[in-house]
Amino acid sequence: SQQGEEDPQALSIQEGENATMNCSYKTSINNLQWYRQNSGRGLVHLILIRSNEREKHSGRLRVTLDTSKKSSSLLITASRAADTASYFCATVGGSNYKLTFGKGTLLTVNP
Amino acid sequence: KAGVTQTPRYLIKTRGQQVTLSCSPISGHRSVSWYQQTPGQGLQFLFEYFSETQRNKGNFPGRFSGRQFSNSRSEMNVSTLELGDSALYLCASSSSGTGTGETQYFGPGTRLLVL
C-alpha cells in the first residue's frame, strides 16, 4: 500500500524555472526521504528530513516537512534539462525497516 | 566505493518458471532491502535482510523469498512466475537499515519480463 501521495502526478516546466512537488502521507513517520529516478533506472537518494526538522537544503533542493499536516514539499530551483526524472517521496515510520513510497511526480524540464 | 550491483540486469522468463536475482551491497553495508516496481502498483517493499536475518517483510505471496549470505550479498527468488511478476526489481543497501533513518543506496535494478 502507498503511504505517500505525490502531487502533481506530472509537471512540465522550462529550464530556469522552479519546480515544486508535494507529498502527503497518512501515518506518523520517523523521517521522510526524496528520491529521483531516471527513466526506469535505480533510485538516487536526494535528501532526508527527520520528523523533528522543518526544512532542509541541499544545493538547489529545498525540502520542507509539516508533520501537523502530514505533508512535505520538494523545491528544485533553477531547473535544468538534466533534472527531468520521476521524483518519489518515501516515508519511514515506527520500528519498521522499510521505505514506503508514493507513486511519484514525473518532472519534465524543457530546454 | 563501488555502488550496489544487481545481476542480471535483464531477464526474460516464461510463466511457471522460477528466477533468482542477485544483489551485492556497498562494501560494509549489512542491510539489504528489495523492492518491486510496476507501472500499476508503483514501488513496493518486498523484504529486508540484516546480518543474514529477514527483519521485515512486505505483503507479497510466499512465492517471493530471499536470503542473505555472510558477506551481505543477497538473493531473491520468485517461484512459479506469473505474468504480473513482470517488473523492475530494485535492491538497496545501507549500514543499519531504514529504521535508523539512514540513506538507502539503490542498485540499477533487474528488469524481469514474464511471457
Residues in chain B within 8 Å Cβ distance of A33: 103-104
Residue A1 confidence class, pLDDT cut points 50, 70, 90: very low
pLDDT in tens, B82-113: 999 999 999 999 887 655 667 889 999 999 99
Torsion over CA of B102, A31, A46 and A19, rounded to 10 degrees? 180
Q: Which phi and psi angles does B100 have, rounded to 5°?
A: -90, 0
Q: Which of B56, B55, B73, B75 is nearest to B65 (CA)?
A: B75
> Which burial class, exposed, middle or buried, applies to B53 when counting CB atoms under 10 A from its CB (0-12, 13-18, 19+)?
exposed
pLDDT for A97: 66
State the nearest Cα–Cα gap between B107 and chain A, in angstroms.
5
Residue A50 β-bridge partners: A31
Residues B15-25 have a mean pLDDT of 98
Bigger pLDDT: A19 or B103? A19
Q: Which residue matches cell numbers 524481469?
A: B112
Instruction: Say how far apart CA A25 and CA A89 lie, in whole Å.
Output: 9
Percent above pLDDT 70 for chain A: 93
Q: If phi over 0 gives left and psi between -120 and 50 gives alpha, with beta otherwise, what is residue B103?
A: beta
Contact residues on chain B for A43, CB-CB shorter than 8 A: 43, 90, 92, 104, 106
Residues B98, A19: Cα–Cα separation, whole Å = 27
CA-based nearest residue in chain A for residue B99: A97
Please give the single-letter amino acid code of residue B90: L
Do A35 and B106 lie within an 8 Å CB cutoff? Answer: yes
Chain B CB contacts of A88 under 8 Å are 43
pLDDT at A33: 92
All three cell numbers of A39 = 527513466
- pLDDT digits 0-9 by tens, A66-94: 999 999 999 999 999 999 999 999 988 76
Residue A98 pLDDT: 77
8 A C-beta contact, residue A26 and residue A32: no
d(CA A21, CA A9): 9
Q: A25 to chain B, minimum CA–CA distance in Å?
A: 15
Region A35-63 average pLDDT: 93
